[in-house]
Chain A
Amino acid sequence: MVPQEAYRPDAGAMTTAIHVRGLTKRYGDVQAVGGLDLEIQKGEVFAILGPNGAGKSTTVEILEGYRKRDSGEVRVLGIDPQKPTREWRAKLGIVLQTANDAAELTVRETIRHFAAYYPMARDPEEVIAKVGLTEKADVRIRKLSGGQRRRVDVALGVIGNPELLFLDEPTTGFDPEARRQFWDLIKGLAAEGTTIVLTTHYLDEAEALAKRVAVIARGRIVAAGDPATLGGRATAKAKVTWADGLVETDTPTRTVLELSRRYDGEVPGLAITRPTLEDIYLTLIEAPE
């Protein structure tokens, strides 16, 4: 008889997309990742935030199977990325940071060609429409703008109908309108049940897309959770400012009532603010060891 407990890790693997325990990676003297833990569930949109050089890209590239780790336990869709199989790769979509390849092929040729790599690819025409490149389908990639090229990258990331999609700083260099369109695209994929791991520098992007975020600094996760409550954001003191004063308080409503009485009605220049995700983020990444 096999004890019931023996089956538990498998039951967990059914719902866990990414499991990381004690991940470390060192480049020469630099400890890029120093004991990182991460758990991402299937169907989640998860954002990884962090300054350049924090270990963000190294971590993601280890998860994608591009880099070898020094130590730690890593499972991505139940597989060790250091021993990738074609079947495993077929379930993954990867949108890399920068690429200038296939410049002489048209959008349609490139997407059709990549579709052939996957056992159950999406319809190339549908994907082209989804990323908004229908009008550019027969244009060579070399002639596209930066934002259009990025959409080709995304199209190639999703053409294989992935269970898990990695997006590495996907909207860098986008204008605000293109970013909104891109967000809609990602929300659509998430609604279809695709697990999405996003790294980004833009905190509004993380807040708009992700249910959970993790902040990486100095090779570790310094905070993780719902962006609305990250780092005690929801319970942090509110800041009440007015024409000639400033108070940090847990009870801003009472402060405003008192002020209203003092000024006999309208308080000049009144504003109540709570820390933004950016405030929290900056505190987290600047905190000493």
Chain B
Amino acid sequence: MTTTAAEKATHTAPLPSALALGLSRAAVETRMFFREKDAVIFTFSFPIILLVLFGSIFSDQFKGTGITVSQVYTAGLIGAGVMGAAFQNLGIGIAIDREDGTLKRLAGTPMPRSAYFVGKMLSSLVIALLEVLILLAIGVFLYELELPTDVSAWVTLTWVLVLGMAGAALLGIAASSIPRSAKSAAAVISMPFVVLQFISGVYIPFTELPPWLINISSVFPLKWMCQGLRSVFLGEEGARLELTGSYELGRVALVLGAWVIGGLVLCLMTFRWKGRRDG
């Protein structure tokens, strides 16, 4: 009798909450990320090196604006850095999780599946924020980037980063199902990301791009995230450098918000807990 009572007690105890486990996953994911030196270097160094490189090569000013090319790059590379930390990192990381048995093992536990995604999203948020801070520090100390002084710009910065990160992370989770194996993941995920950076105004101003390329990049979140970031760091003068002469913040919010919803739908529709070889 005592054993059956004990057995009952064992399995009627409440299951841990999905939120608590999501936070626990986030802590573990973040710790694992920072211990994997290769991934840390891969994620952080790329935008930092490019910012220092471009900032040193192009030190001119845009006529009559008082804005330097390196300041424009800082804003653009913050966007690219966020997308790298969220999209690229998750796209590759989850493809590896699928192959090394992480997903299969987790699927066999009572962990709610949402906790895995909450963990991935939050850990990529931490990584992306750190990246933003580093790039901002470089911009401020090396390229006279001015941090916004009014509250509304900080509010804009917050929603652009949160929406941009969430959309990019969800897109990364969805994209993780594309590579056939963990080995090919880095190439499959990084290639479109690099192309997107070139056509989204990160390295090359829109004024230099043919309209059809701009049309393509306007579909994706990176262009809009960078545009939102420029509005924060380059101020009113910088708006004249935009194609439409305006930062179009309403449209930025709309497109980034649409990507969060679209990314979520895409994840729910396409996510695979199994590798291709698992049948």
Contacts and interface: CB of A to CB of B under 8 A. Distances in A.
Interface stretch (B7-15, B72-80, B121-129, B257-265): B7-15
Interface residues of A, number: 35
Given A66-B108, A114-B109, A161 B10 contact: yes
Given A27-B279, A99-B100, A193-B3, A113 B28 contact: yes
Contacts of B11: 87, 90-91, 119-120, 163
Q: How large is the interface on B (under 10, 10 to 19, 20 to 34, 35 or more residues)?
A: 20 to 34
B31 interface: yes
A228 interface: no
Contacts, number: 88
A92 B102 CA distance: 17
A90 B12 CA distance: 10
Interface in A83-103: 86-87, 89-92, 94, 96, 98-103
Interface string B152-177: 00000000000000000000000000
Nearest to B97: A101
Interface string A114-139: 10111110000000000000000000
A98 B102 CA distance: 11
A231 interface: no
B16 interface: yes
A109 interface: yes
Interface string B1-40: 0010001011101111000110010001001100110000
B159 to A, nearest CB: 33
A122 B32 CA distance: 24
Contacts of A94: 105, 108
Contacts of B272: none
A49 interface: no
Given A27-B279, A98-B101, A104-B32, A116 B16 contact: yes
A104 B35 contact: yes
B2 to A, nearest CB: 12
Contact of A116 (B13, B14, B24): B24
B111 interface: yes
Interface string B257-279: 00000000000000000100001
A99 B101 contact: yes
B35 A163 contact: no
Nearest to A14: B4
User: Which applies to chain A's interface (DSSP): helix, strand, loop or mixed?
Assistant: loop
B260 to A, nearest CB: 27
Contacts of B35: 104-105, 140
A44 interface: no
Nearest to A105: B32
Interface in B59-101: 97, 100-101
B32 A118 contact: no
B3 A156 contact: no
B97 to A, nearest CB: 7
B112 interface: yes
Interface string B212-246: 00000000000000000000000000000000000
Contacts of B108: 64-66, 89, 92, 94, 96
A192 B133 CA distance: 54
B103 to A, nearest CB: 8
Nearest to A64: B108
Contacts of A87: 11, 15, 110
B15 A86 contact: yes
B182 to A, nearest CB: 10
A160 interface: yes
Nearest to B109: A117
A120 B109 contact: no
Given A86-B112, A104-B35, A117 B16 contact: yes
B187 interface: no
A96 B278 CA distance: 13
8 contacts: A86-B110, A101-B101, A104-B31, A113-B24, A116-B20, A117-B109, A118-B110, A119-B11
Given A101-B101, A113-B24, A120-B10, 4 more contacts: A66-B274, A98-B101, A114-B109, A161-B10
